[in-house]
Structure 1
Amino acid sequence: MDDELWNILMALENGTRREMLKTLANYDSYALELSKMIGVSQQAINKQLDILEKLGFISTSGSIPSTIGPPRKVYRSMGFSTITIDYSRNFMEIKKREISYPDHDTEGNTLSLIDRLKSVNDEIESLDRKRSEAVGRKDLIIEKLRERASEYDGFYRKVIYEYLEKLDFSEVAEETGLPEDMVERIIGKFISS
């Protein structure tokens, strides 16, 4: 898994940061306001804001005047993506995809926009169910292939398991340090067995 995904998981593991991101997804805000809304000290909020900014989840979007001190930095969320985590008996996979914003019409009255929102939510739920079923099928297939790979010694089995994860000879060769043609021979032998 690459560093960007680890950073995302690290950012989301903290409850205060999650609450801050949820708030900033709705509207721009500043540290004191976030502190009051979330119920955490401003010092703790400032620390979390620094972390989120370094990880690329938020940025400053200007400042607003304060009657009791220097201007307050206003933060906004950024770096939007969708993240899927598959954790099954036979594999774990984490993927990040940038959110694609199609050029669809978002005009209309409030009721029609709410109806479209409900429709999109239903569509996402349906896709999630189908994806969950596909992940289950993948898990069962990998389980059966791993059973067959268990007949091989540790080194060959490692190469086979890497291949089942990546399904790419060159990536397996890079991961294991083997020449690509050797990986192809090992997998070829596995496939023909």
Structure 2
Amino acid sequence: MAGLDEALAILQNKARRAILERLVREPHYPLQLAEQIGISQQAVMKHLKLLEGVGFVVKMKAASNKGGPPKNIYSVQQAISIRIDLGPDLFQCSQRILPAGGPLKLSNKLNGNVVKVAEIVSGRKKIGVGEGAHHLSAISEAIEKLDNERDALIALHQQIKQRVSSTVDSDFESYEQRLMVHNILESPRSNFNFKEFARELQLGAEASERLIDEVRTRVVRQMAERSGQFIAAPQTIELPWWAALGIDPS
């Protein structure tokens, strides 16, 4: 399967996106794609070879309608979702593999009316056009609601980051300090890999220890100023980052 960078590089090409748009509907021959997209069959074959190489499409032999030898026909098999969020104090780029399984298995991950849709279509190999349009409309409505909620959460996340960034700019003097804090804020629920961070900045052992001490001191000072309480602890104390950032895990 293509990694995120490779997938983005492939999908930036308009012709390849046009090919995939048609292949998700039904399998196509290269000549069909060339005629529909308006490029040469040779160019289509180059794009298909690239898409096949990263697992986006697969080819199979299909009998010719005109009685000739079997020809290659292409279809999409891989199911992924790529998400990009970009704005001031906001950059998230991720690739997710969509869950496998039939409607009944997927219903365990769903909520609301779409659970009933999954139960209705479970075990059925064919669905009429009218009924299918009705179910797809219900699912599209549910997706739109989720997207609207996600957009609001992303916007709230961005606004909080902007306010925190103002504090970081005023309270942390060096670029290394600010960069370290921003890296921690990117994944506050995960362990911060300081060794990797120090290696990227080419920091020696002494500079690394000094940086950790400076950031810890400023974060604890912020906590004390906010709470109006004096905080005393040994210099060697290892606070989890949710504590150092003043976040209540409960």
The answer to whether TM tops 0.5 is: yes
* Equivalent in the alignment of 1:79: 78
* Equivalent in the alignment of 1:136: 155
Q: Which has the larger radius of gyration?
A: 2
Q: Which amino acid is 1:75 matched to?
A: Y
Q: Judge which range, 64-73 or 18-27, deviates more.
A: 64-73
Q: Distance in 1 between matches of 2:35 and 2:19?
A: 11
Q: Which amino acid is 2:186 matched to?
A: E
CA displacement 1:139-186 (0-9 Å, x = unmatched): 011111111111311111111111111223333442333789988756
Tell me: higher relative CO, structure 1 or 2? Use CA pairs within 8 A at least 6 residues apart.
1
- Give the 5 Å matches for 1:47-62: 47-62=46-61
Displacement of 1:95 in angstroms is: 1.6
CA displacement 1:43-75 (0-9 Å, x = unmatched): 110110111111211011224348697642111
TM-score w.r.t. structure 2 length? Answer: 0.67
* Equivalent in the alignment of 1:18: 17
Q: Distance in 2 between matches of 1:183 and 1:25?
A: 51
| Cα contact 2:82–2:93 (8 A) shared by 1 | yes
Q: Judge which range, 101-110 or 171-180, deviates more.
A: 171-180
Q: Distance in 2 between matches of 1:66 and 1:116?
A: 34
Q: Which amino acid is 1:117 matched to?
A: L
Q: Distance in 1 between matches of 2:131 and 2:211?
A: 56
Change (3 A) 1:42 1:8: same
Identical-residue share of aligned pairs (%): 23
Q: Distance in 2 between matches of 1:4 and 1:129?
A: 27
Q: Unpaired segments of 5 or more residues in structure 2?
A: 105-117, 223-250
How many residues align? The count is: 191
* Equivalent in the alignment of 1:119: 138
How much is the aligned-residue C-alpha RMSD, in angstroms? 2.6
* Equivalent in the alignment of 1:166: 187
Q: Judge which range, 147-156 or 117-126, deviates more.
A: 147-156
Q: Distance in 2 between matches of 1:148 and 1:54?
A: 47
Q: Unpaired segments of 5 or more residues in structure 1?
A: none
